[in-house]
Structure 1
Amino acid sequence: MKQLWTFGIEQAKSCLFAVVIFSTLAITQMIELSNRYDWILLICIITQIIMLVTHLETWDELKVICVFHIIGLALEIYKVHMGSWSYPEEAFTKVFGVPLYSGFMYASVASYLCQAWRRLDVRLVKWPPNWTVAILSAAIYFNFFTHHFICDFRWFLKIATVLLFIRTVVFYKVNDKVYQMPVVLSFVLIGFFIWIAENIATFFGAWQYPNQSDTWQIVHFSKISSWLLLVIVSFLIVAMLKHIKGTNKESHT
């Protein structure tokens, strides 16, 4: 129970950015704040500055988070344009129908991964070659765009992920005791919990799917598949950067 408690506390600390976003969504909806998308963006920026100043996040982690902000915002603009979902409320900080705060929702996933990696002293064993990881990450990301025009290759990409990482194991430390888990299982677990978070976010009006225009409904289970792929991209980018940085450190020592 002590180990489980410590693990839960470290996970909660790692989710701080996401908790701030969800809390802001809930509070701004309950008080019916006008232009709340703009307020959410302001709170996200202030939170990011505070986390950096208080050393809850490092400069290296901020760089990774900024990359995810750009990647996520580009995907949001495209998906809104294609009618996959919408942001119906008015805001000054909207670009092509997408509020800028939406990038922080993707950045919060990167923030969680970076912080959990550091707090739990994560290590990856039997990591595949970086070039294969880069190709797979790019293929998964661009499939979110191209499946509107050509075949959806998500199941092929999932199979490719399993085959590429079938031997990869993630080691993490809780109170100096080391545990291990197949990295593929970690993809599934993170994707599932993000789907739960998505239901909370849509309930508080973070964005809106077409079937939620009249009344809120639970997000379809098929979205777990999409989040699973997005988590894989996020994890692979963070892991690649950590792996490359670790390799560079070893080469200098």
Structure 2
Amino acid sequence: MLRTRIILFFSAALLVVLIFSLPRVVVDNEKNGIESAETNPSTEAPSGDAHSDELQPELQEQADKLKENIRVAENIEKSIIFADSLARLYIEANKFDSAAKFIEIIADKAPGEANWLRAGDVYYDAYGFAMDRQKQEALGEKARFYFNKVLEQSPDNLEAKNKLAMTYLSTSNPMQGIMMLREIIENDPENEQAMFNLGILSMQSGQHDKAVERFSKLTQLYPNNTQAQFFLGVSYLEIGNKEKAKEQFILVKSLDSDPAVQATVDSYLSEIE
């Protein structure tokens, strides 16, 4: 959904808040073939949460019961069932960092590609929502740990590789993530997620002409990608092509009727008019 990206304006997945907070030199150096360094992600838990564990009273009561059930569970199978229920409860409450802790329990008790991917995905979502830099880095490290385990088993899993690449952007070696995205495009020139991520990175670096080029190609291949259509409009606006920007924003309004999307696009249109 475009709604989440717009409400957070470059956050989780999705990461636009994160991306726009990066120094512009990060992507300006995309042209320079900077050599990537190896990383050794820790398996230690993050030092803090991106969100509070606190839930609404009725949900908190359910969570407390499930936590107690995990504590007294007689076998691994039961503890996994209770951990899964807790994770789903926290996900429904948009508390992805809390959910990730319990999915990690599942991944550790029942290791395997599916559970590693699930843990990586939820840590990635938590990473995208984290506002505190230290927490963001810790959550990103956890996501990398699980995505790397997935890729050890399935090197061609491009969804995991895309997300892994984006987590490197908050590290001391963001070029490693950029190089990974380039590798994806080399192997799959029409990979929707990698094309989108590179378009976002072009915007972050101030290379709006390149962003227009990338989002134009992406929307030609995937016309129903509302996110790309929206950011193509933003990119046109940044290069001063108000007519094209207006066309894009009107198109986005026709593609997504969500009130949050409509209001955000209207705010851009009001700037143009």
TM-score calculated relative to the size of structure 1: 0.27
More helix by share: 2
| Higher RCO by CA contacts (8 Å cutoff, separation 6 or greater) | 1
Structure index of larger Rg: 2
TM-score calculated relative to the size of structure 2: 0.25
